[in-house]
Amino acid sequence: MGRLVRLTEQGFIDLVASLSRAARGPRGAGWRPVLGIGDDAAVLPSAGRLHTLLTTDLLTDGVHFRAAWTPGFLLGKKALSVNLSDIAAMGGVPRACVFSAGFPRRTRPAYAREVARGLADQARRHGLAIVGGDTCAARSLFLNVALLGAVEPGREVRRSGARAGDGLYVTGALGAAAAGLRLLKRGARPPGKGSAGHRAVRAHLDPEPRVTAGRLLGMTGLAAAMIDLSDGLLQDLPRLCAASGTGAVVEEAAVPVAPAAAAVLGPGGARRAAIVGGEDYELLFAARPGLEAQVAHLARRIRLPMSRIGQIVPRRRGVHLLTRSGQYVPFAALRGGFRHFPADA
């Protein structure tokens, strides 16, 4: 094993540990691990009668990202963000995480340091303790996070809670991450700061997990079922419907399209990206009929748009898109038609 890798391996865990300890955010002030990195396992204080949430997500070079176009800081941050998004989709509070990283021998120590900094920074923002890690040499770069959260018993928001008649909502706007991925794949020069292209690339590289929104949607009981949009509406809505034993109708005209997506892909391409594109990490949720005003109130309170994009229907009616021209197109049929869309490649 080369000296460079050896340095990186030991250094990486130490660096994450020290950055994570040093930078305790305001939300992290309330609790501390009994024991963090450095023993055989971390010890976390009892969360009283809270249930524990546990999730894991993996980012691999060439599959989930490309190291060539992903700054180390944003890679480390995103590895946490995608897991935070899962905890958000359960209505939970993130508490602590462990990571595993595989670095190719050619990895520059500066890049690994940036990854560590991104991990630690995002942990700090969310009041999260990084309590363990493991790294080694690997043929391709990967970064895995396992994230532990807490939720009040019975308050977890499952995928399976939707019922026919529920409204179907989405936070934020969709399509920007897919537009950003298309720009990155084209290999064009980085778009200028403040441009739509820059915002789109940023949406792909640095998605914002909707932790506060997910928590409030769970605590208030507004969300009857919830999932995060990691693979996109086209794939994630059928998952929510399958778990709930329902169908759904999405009104194309009601789907919020990110302005950055429209600027990069044009209006038609952006509308498709909003439905087919993945990695927006917005929350998709169902709420009982009659709760529209309460959802709108919550959205205003946290300054995050929540759009009603359709309705949950009985299972036998399937999962359909109601297009602007008034046609009902099955979700399964969209997949083929959008095959060459960037997010699919």
Residue selected from 28, 76, 118, 132 as contacting its own copies according to rule CB under 8 A: 132
Taking the complex as a whole, how short is the minimal distance between the CB of residue 69 and its own copies, in angstroms? 18
- Among the listed residues 145, 43, 168, 27, the one whose alpha carbon sits nearest the alpha carbon of residue 86: 145
Nearer to its own copies, 136 or 332 (CB): 136
Tell the burial category of 187 from Cβ atoms under 10 Å away from its Cβ (0-12, 13-18, 19+): exposed
CB 315 within 8 A of CB 243: no
CA distances from 301 to 127, 160, 213, 297 (A): 21, 27, 10, 6
Residue selected from 2, 25, 45, 289 as contacting its own copies according to rule CB under 8 A: 45
In the shown chain, the binding pattern of residues 191 to 230 toward its own copies, with x for contact by CB under 8 A and - for none, equals -----------------------------------xxx--
29 lies in the binding site for its own copies (CB under 8 A): no
Taking the complex as a whole, how short is the minimal distance between the CB of residue 1 and its own copies, in angstroms? 9
Residue selected from 77, 113, 125, 159 as contacting its own copies according to rule CB under 8 A: 159
Taking the complex as a whole, how short is the minimal distance between the CB of residue 48 and its own copies, in angstroms? 7
4 lies in the binding site for its own copies (CB under 8 A): no
CA atoms of 27 and 43, how far apart (whole Å):
19
134: phi then psi, degrees, rounded to nearest 5: -145, 135
CA atoms of 342 and 345, how far apart (whole Å):
6
How many residues sit close enough to its own copies to count as binding (CB under 8 A)?
Answer: 64
- Which window, 71-79, 143-151, 172-180, 189-197, contacts its own copies (CB under 8 A)? 143-151
CB 225 within 8 A of CB 240: yes
248 lies in the binding site for its own copies (CB under 8 A): no
CB 257 within 8 A of CB 172: no
In the shown chain, the binding pattern of residues 55 to 84 toward its own copies, with x for contact by CB under 8 A and - for none, equals xxxx-x-xxx--------------------
Q: Give the rounded distance of the alpha carbon of 122 from its chain centre.
A: 13
The C-alpha angle 174, 180, 186, rounded to 5 degrees, equals: 145
Residue selected from 3, 26, 29, 49 as contacting its own copies according to rule CB under 8 A: 49
- Which window, 112-120, 127-135, 256-264, 309-317, contacts its own copies (CB under 8 A)? 127-135
86 lies in the binding site for its own copies (CB under 8 A): yes
CA atoms of 240 and 287, how far apart (whole Å):
13
Cα(first)–Cα(last) distance of the chain, in Å? Answer: 35
- Count of C-beta atoms within a 10 Å radius of residue 153: 8
Residue selected from 17, 19, 79, 151 as contacting its own copies according to rule CB under 8 A: 151
CB 9 within 8 A of CB 135: yes
Positions 276 through 305 that interact with its own copies (CB under 8 A): none
Residues in contact with its own copies by the rule CB under 8 A: 34-35, 38-58, 60, 62-64, 85-87, 89-90, 92, 96, 98-100, 102, 131-140, 142, 144, 146-149, 151, 153, 156, 158-160, 226-228, 243
